[in-house]
């Protein structure tokens, strides 16, 4: 990376740092006005932006228009949160006379925005997890400026969206430093951004390897900062024999569509299917194979991702513990779907068999017992989601598996498939390591803004200090 590129990163971060105090003290009307303006700006230029996004990613106009709608929706949703006073909320404990522990001073719990946030765009969501995506929206709502690191999979789109955003800022007479943009695909660029002393937090969605390198850098700083990283997930799905006896063909079709959606390039794509040894499970695998094999996929987002997927397939083909369920058809624009059977005992014992294949593929494990199914979940260790089909009745078995699923996943589904993440107050998109670095936080949903707020207790504060905080009990 050149000295000039370092200087551009420094300039963007310093511009964010210069306006951090102004934005932390900004009124709800100003913050919400910006978020709504950004949503409208995105919609105003939607046709041109979608065309550019499709050219760079190949995701298709239908998918990309839907993603713009989601991005605008969550920008307005965070504006609603700001107008409801969520980032300004306080808890006020009035003073009580007497000796401790009954007696106490007045304590007012408030929140302080962390400061400039470095946000790393994701490859697979060029709108919803990029320049104006959920990380940016939640940070701005919390009162933090943002410096966006573009992704090499859609750099021209990132620059175009940033230009739209700068137009909105100019139109509202707000400083451009509230939303900076830095290019550079190199590892050095990312590390330099994370290491900048004015960066106060980092948001990342991407690979395990890239995320862990940046996470280490954030913690090795002289002054470590929070790193909110989503590092990938294999999203186990358990289907009990009872539901497969009732509706296996429809479930197989639904699952096949989920595995191949977006050519499998979803962080919530179901990658591990756990079945009990039962005739209904055998029939389900045959139906899933029939549904998967003919599906045509579009090209993957980058050549590197395609190479990674091919390497994952080659690894399983070379493993004595794995076998192909069906012979894949010829590749279309993207890779042909793949389905493997993997020995459950080997899966539990060998971490190499649990690596994410980011693409249209899944593995099937046939377990001998509920205890072995539970062991599979614990071996996975951390996942964004876990899906449980056929858990309508409370039994010792369903209770045990639900407990294991809750321990390893951020979101547990009892119907449907995990691809598709609703933007709501109750959403949790994050899970224990290695799914994310901060499992107590979410990167989707309105609780995401809490990541960028630090609690501060004010003791016996005068009225003017509470007013300066914008405190709203």
Residue 470 in this model has a pLDDT that exceeds 80: no
Q: How many domains does the chain have?
A: 2
- Strand residue runs (E) in 81-153: 91-93, 107-113, 117-120, 146-149
Contact 357, 306 (CB under 8 A): no
**CATH code where residue 71 lies:** 3.40.605.10
Note the Cα 60 to chain centre separation in Å: 21
CA proximity to 15, closest of 200, 154, 146: 146
Average pLDDT (143-149) is: 97
Would you call 249 a catalytic residue per the annotation? no
Q: Which CATH number covers residue 290?
A: 3.40.309.10
Query: Is 238 in contact with 274 (CB distance < 8 Å)?
Result: yes
pTM for the predicted model, two decimal places:
0.94
- Give residue 230's pLDDT band: very low, low, confident or very high (50, 70, 90): very high
Residues 6+ apart with CB under 8 A from 299: 58, 263, 306, 333, 334
Boundary-marking domain end, from 398, 413, 428: 413
Q: Which of 178-182, 263-267, 371-375, 397-401 shows the lowest mean pLDDT across its residues? A: 263-267
The SS3 call for residue 181 is strand
Which of the residues 56, 67, 144, 267 is marked catalytic? 267
Q: Do residues 219 and 252 share a domain?
A: no
Rounded to whole angstroms, the Cα distance separating 137 from 190 reads: 21
Spatial neighbors of 24 by CB under 8 A, at least 6 apart, are: 112, 113, 115, 143, 144
Strand order in the sheet with 117-120: 179-182, 146-149, 117-120, 201-205, 227-230
Choose between 470 and 406: higher pLDDT.
406
pLDDT tens-digit profile of 400-417? 999 999 999 999 999 999
pLDDT value at residue 248: 95
Judgement on whether residues 72 and 25 belong to the same structural domain of the protein: yes
Which residues sit opposite 212 in a β-bridge?
none
CA-wise closest residue to 135 among 152, 153, 147:
147
Question: In this model, does residue 472 exceed pLDDT 50?
Answer: no
Q: Do 213 and 240 fall into the same domain?
A: no
Based on the fold, state whether residues 241 and 262 are members of the same structural domain.
yes
Is position 430 within any domain? no
Strand, helix or coil for residue 107: strand
Evaluate whether 147 touches 199 at the Cβ level (below 8 Å): yes
Does residue 473 fall inside a structural domain?
no
Please indicate, yes or no, whether residues 225 and 245 belong to a single structural domain of this protein.
no
* Residue that wins the pLDDT comparison between 187 and 335: 335
Selection from 291, 290, 309 nearest residue 301 by Cα: 309
Residue 427, in any domain of the structure: no
72 Rama class: left (phi>0) / alpha (psi -120 to 50) / beta? alpha
Residue 471 has pLDDT above 60, yes or no: no
Same-domain check for residues 142 and 26: yes
Q: Are residues 186 and 273 in the same domain?
A: no
Q: Which domain holds residue 105?
A: 3-231+436-468
Whether the pLDDT of residue 322 is over 70: the answer is yes
pLDDT digits (tens, 9 = 90+) for 271-315: 999 999 999 999 999 999 999 999 999 999 989 899 999 999 999
Judge whether 287 lies within some domain.
Answer: yes
Percent of the chain with pLDDT over 70: 98
Residue 473 has pLDDT above 50, yes or no: no
Query: Is residue 421 in a domain?
Result: no
CA distance 279 to 323: 19
Whole-number pLDDT of residue 52: 97
Distance CA 361, CA 312 (A): 10
Q: How far, in Å, CA of 20 to CA of 142, rounded?
A: 11
The residues, any chain, with a CB within 8 Å of residue 145's CB and separated by 6 or more, are 16, 17, 19, 20, 23, 115, 116, 117, 139, 177, 178, 179, 180
Q: What is the mean pLDDT of the chain?
A: 95
Regarding whether 366 and 250 lie in a shared domain, the answer is: yes
Number of H helices, E strands in the chain: 15, 15
pLDDT at 181 over 60: yes
- pLDDT score recorded for residue 111: 95
Shared domain for 294 and 200, answered yes or no, is no
Report pLDDT for 3. 65
| Pairing of the two strands 146-149 and 179-182 | parallel
Active-site residue (options: 56, 67, 230, 356): 230
224 lies in the same domain as 103: yes
Q: Is 267 a catalytic residue?
A: yes
Residue 419 lies in a domain: no
CA–CA dist 18, 122 (Å, integer): 27
Give the residues across from 276 on adjacent strands: 367
DSSP-assigned letters across all residues of 359-375: SSEEEEEEESSHHHHHH
* 226 and 252 together in one domain: no
Mean pLDDT of 167-187: 93
Per-residue pLDDT tens over the stretch 63-111 = 999 999 999 999 999 999 999 999 999 999 999 999 999 999 999 999 9
Measured CA to CA, the distance from residue 305 to residue 130 in angstroms comes to 18
Q: Looking at the structure, tell me whether residues 150 and 20 fall in a common domain.
A: yes
Q: Is the pLDDT of residue 1 over 60?
A: no
- Specify if 429 maps to a domain: no
């Amino acid at each position: 990376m050149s000295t000039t590129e370092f200087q551009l990163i420094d300039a963007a971060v310093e511009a964010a740092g210069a306006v951090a105090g102004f934005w932390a003290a900004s009124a709800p009307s100003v913050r919400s006005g910006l978020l709504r303006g950004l949503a409208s700006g995105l919609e105003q230029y939607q046709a041109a932006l979608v065309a550019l996004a499709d050219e760079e990613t190949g995701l298709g106009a239908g998918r990309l228009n839907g993603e713009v709608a989601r991005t605008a929706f969550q920008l307005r949703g965070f504006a609603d949160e700001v107008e409801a006073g969520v980032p300004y909320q306080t808890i006020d404990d009035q003073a009580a006379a007497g000796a401790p522990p009954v007696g106490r001073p007045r304590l007012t719990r408030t929140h302080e925005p962390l400061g400039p946030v470095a946000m790393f765009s994701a490859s697979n969501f060029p709108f919803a997890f990029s320049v104006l995506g959920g990380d940016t929206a939640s940070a701005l709502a919390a009162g933090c400026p943002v410096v966006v690191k573009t992704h090499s999979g859609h750099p021209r789109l990132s620059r175009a969206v940033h230009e739209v955003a700068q137009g909105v800022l100019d139109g509202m007479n707000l400083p451009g430093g509230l939303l900076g943009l830095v290019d550079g695909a190199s590892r050095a660029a990312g590390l330099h951004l994370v290491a900048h002393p004015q960066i106060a937090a980092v948001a990342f969605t991407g690979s395990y390897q890239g995320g862990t390198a940046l996470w280490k850098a954030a913690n090795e700083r002289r002054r470590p900062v929070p790193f909110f990283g989503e590092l990938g997930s294999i999203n186990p799905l358990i289907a009990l024999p009872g539901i497969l006896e009732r509706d296996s063909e429809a479930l197989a079709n639904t699952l096949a569509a989920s595995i191949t959606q977006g050519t499998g390039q979803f962080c919530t794509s179901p990658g591990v299917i756990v079945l009990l040894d039962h005739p209904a499970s055998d029939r389900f695998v045959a139906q899933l194979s029939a549904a998967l094999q003919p599906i045509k996929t579009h090209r993957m987002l980058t050549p590197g991702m395609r190479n990674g997927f091919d390497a994952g397939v080659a690894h399983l083909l070379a493993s004595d513990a794995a076998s192909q369920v069906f012979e894949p058809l010829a590749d279309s624009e993207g890779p042909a779907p793949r389905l493997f059977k993997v020995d459950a005992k080997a899966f539990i014992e060998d971490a190499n068999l649990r690596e994410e294949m980011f693409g249209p593929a899944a593995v099937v494990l046939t377990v001998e017992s509920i205890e072995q199914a539970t062991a599979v979940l614990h071996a996975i260790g951390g996942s964004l989601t876990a899906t449980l089909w056929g858990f309508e009745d409370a039994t010792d078995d369903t209770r045990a598996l639900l407990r294991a699923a809750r321990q390893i996943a951020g979101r547990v589904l009892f119907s449907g498939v995990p691809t598709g993440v609703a933007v709501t107050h109750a959403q949790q998109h994050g899970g224990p390591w290695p799914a994310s670095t901060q499992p107590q936080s979410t990167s989707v949903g309105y609780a995401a803004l809490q990541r960028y707020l630090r609690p501060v207790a004010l003791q016996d504060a005068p009225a003017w200090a509470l007013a300066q905080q914008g405190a709203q009990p």
